[in-house]
Amino acid sequence: MKRIYIITVLTSLAVIISAYCLHNFLIHNDGDKSIKVGFIYVGDASTPYTNNFIKSQKAIENYYGEQVETIEKYNVTEGNEETALKELADAGCNLIITTSYGYGETTKAFAKDHPNIQFCQATCSNANDEPIVKNYHTFMGAIYQGRYISGVVAGMKLKELIEDGLITKEQAKIGYVGAYPYAEVISGYTAFLLGVRSIVPEAKMTVKYTNTWGDYMIEKKCAKELIDDGCIIISQHSDTAGPAVACEETERTKTVFHVGYNQSMSKIAPTTYLTGSKINWEPYILSAVQAVLKNKKIESCVNGNVNGNDVGAGFEQGWVQMLDLNEIIAADGTQEKIDFIIDEFKKGKLQVFKGDYIGVNPIDENDKYDLNNGYIENENCSAPTFSYILKDVITVE
């Protein structure tokens, strides 16, 4: 009788375990599961920044097919994102991707009230700030790496112009069209100038802010003013082709070249465009969708530098990419130099924010940073944090 009892108990346990495993398999097998993913865009396909996110949305649709339905909200100005968030939540979205820095505070608060939806905010830095909301995440590529390389390309062109006697070292002046005085913008143009100065140490920069992300006419006007002020290279952290067009329309008696961001300007400015860089959003967004499909924590599915609810990465994970190089006008040896520096970044051998510079906080001039000590960008956060203006080499107008 005892033996029969033991066999009965073991058989019952086996049935229970099998049933549990089957139940667990059915829950976690995402083969038949489908989700809705919402996107909130500050612009539309006409702006390079938003267009790169749209490419990621299309990548989701192509990769996951009928498992994922996407819904998008275009041209949502910062400050008006709450309505779009509510509409996407009411539409049944399981994951909402918000794509503009200014959405961060509202999105985090909204996420707290909607715990069953995952929210991923690009370019923001508040995921690990108290109070931590477990379904709110932030992400961004280490774009300073691409900015630095773009600066090196510009520096090589300046050096060629100097050696050919077309400009003097004193005329090695950079113009930069920035959207806002955010750390993201300041970090970007600082990395760009440090790339230039790694080739032409005499180069200096003038920055003009547009105080908007996507106004073509304002961006073009700022670029033209910088060109008229003698800037030889024009770069930008703004969302339209305005600066590139300003360079291309400049009379041939002036020497000027353009370095872009987010989108190649080779067709818009074929005689002045050198190169540019962009963040590739696909690795993170595809992984975030996979995590929601599999009921896993998003950060466990992403290949990158994980810090709490925040993830970032650079060239090593394909999160940062260089745009095409205009070899017709770029200096000889530029592509080889680009390839070498990308490899240095992948190996972790290159520190950009270091040198004989003093950075001054634009809000508090008593707050200064000595770059001889070095500054590690993105050390604890995917969003840029360097927000000092380099004394004597950068002028903000």
Asked if the model's pLDDT at residue 21 lies above 60, the reply is: no
Characterise 64 by phi-psi region: left (phi > 0), alpha (psi -120 to 50), beta (else). alpha
The C-alpha atoms of residue 360 and residue 186 are separated, in whole angstroms, by 11
Residue 23 — very low, low, confident or very high, per pLDDT cuts 50/70/90? very low
- Nearest Cα neighbor of 82 from 61, 105, 116 is 105
344 found inside a domain: yes
243 and 198 in a single domain? The answer is: yes
- Nearest Cα neighbor of 172 from 163, 182, 189, 159 is 159
By the 8 A CB rule, do 139 and 317 touch?
no
Residue 388 — very low, low, confident or very high, per pLDDT cuts 50/70/90? very high
Exposed / middle / buried, residue 83 (Cβ in 10 Å: 0-12, 13-18, 19+): exposed
29 found inside a domain: no
211 and 239 in a single domain? The answer is: yes
245 and 367 in a single domain? The answer is: yes
Residues in the chain: 397
Residue 77 DSSP class: -
Section 391-396 average pLDDT = 98
- At 184, list the tokens: 């993201």
- At 190, list the tokens: 């600082």
How high is the pLDDT of residue 252? 87
The C-alpha atoms of residue 239 and residue 153 are separated, in whole angstroms, by 21
The C-alpha atoms of residue 263 and residue 248 are separated, in whole angstroms, by 16
How high is the pLDDT of residue 33? 86
192 and 156 in a single domain? The answer is: yes
76 and 219 in a single domain? The answer is: no
Which of 316, 339, 368 is the C-terminal boundary of a domain? 316
Residue 353 — very low, low, confident or very high, per pLDDT cuts 50/70/90? very high
SS3 sequence, 210-230?
Answer: CCCCCCHHHHHHHHHHHHHCC
Exposed / middle / buried, residue 184 (Cβ in 10 Å: 0-12, 13-18, 19+): buried
20 found inside a domain: no
Asked if the model's pLDDT at residue 19 lies above 80, the reply is: no
Please write the tens of the pLDDT for every residue from 277-305. 999 999 999 999 999 999 999 999 999 99
3-state secondary structure of 289: helix
Q: Which of 8-12, 335-339, 358-362 has the weakest average pLDDT?
A: 8-12
List alpha helices for the chain, DSSP H: 2-28, 48-64, 81-90, 104-113, 144-163, 183-197, 216-228, 242-248, 282-293, 298-301, 334-346
* CATH code: domain of residue 307: 3.40.50.2300
256 and 124 in a single domain? The answer is: no
Asked if the model's pLDDT at residue 131 lies above 50, the reply is: yes
58 and 157 in a single domain? The answer is: no
Section 138-167 average pLDDT = 98
The C-alpha atoms of residue 71 and residue 57 are separated, in whole angstroms, by 9
- Nearest Cα neighbor of 41 from 1, 84, 86 is 84
The total number of structural domains that make up the chain: 2
193 found inside a domain: yes
Number of C-beta neighbours around residue 324 at 10 A: 11
The C-alpha atoms of residue 155 and residue 196 are separated, in whole angstroms, by 4
Domain span at residue 51? 35-141+281-316
Section 254-275 average pLDDT = 96
The C-alpha atoms of residue 216 and residue 279 are separated, in whole angstroms, by 21
11 found inside a domain: no
93 and 125 in a single domain? The answer is: yes
**Residue 137 φ then ψ, to 5°:** -135, 155
The C-alpha atoms of residue 222 and residue 175 are separated, in whole angstroms, by 9
Which of 316, 334, 366 is the C-terminal boundary of a domain? 316
69 found inside a domain: yes
2 found inside a domain: no
Task: Please give the order of strands across the beta sheet that includes 136-141.
Answer: 68-73, 35-40, 95-98, 118-122, 136-141, 310-313, 305-307
Given the structure tokens 């390309």, which residue do they identify? 153
Mean pLDDT of the chain: 93
Given the structure tokens 């608060």, which residue do they identify? 109
155 and 288 in a single domain? The answer is: no
- List, as own/partner pairs, every contact residues 280-283 make where C-beta atoms lie below 8 angstroms and the sequence separation is at least 24, other chains included: 280/52, 280/141, 280/318, 280/319, 280/320, 280/321, 281/52, 281/53, 281/55, 281/56, 281/122, 281/141, 282/55, 282/56, 282/59, 283/313, 283/317, 283/318, 283/319
253 and 304 in a single domain? The answer is: no
205 and 249 in a single domain? The answer is: yes
Asked if the model's pLDDT at residue 25 lies above 70, the reply is: no
Please write the tens of the pLDDT for every residue from 221-235. 999 999 999 999 999
294 and 353 in a single domain? The answer is: no
Q: Is the peptide bond before 131 cis (omega within 30 degrees of 0)?
A: yes
10 found inside a domain: no
The C-alpha atoms of residue 232 and residue 226 are separated, in whole angstroms, by 9
Number of C-beta neighbours around residue 202 at 10 A: 15
Asked if the model's pLDDT at residue 343 lies above 80, the reply is: yes
The C-alpha atoms of residue 299 and residue 295 are separated, in whole angstroms, by 12
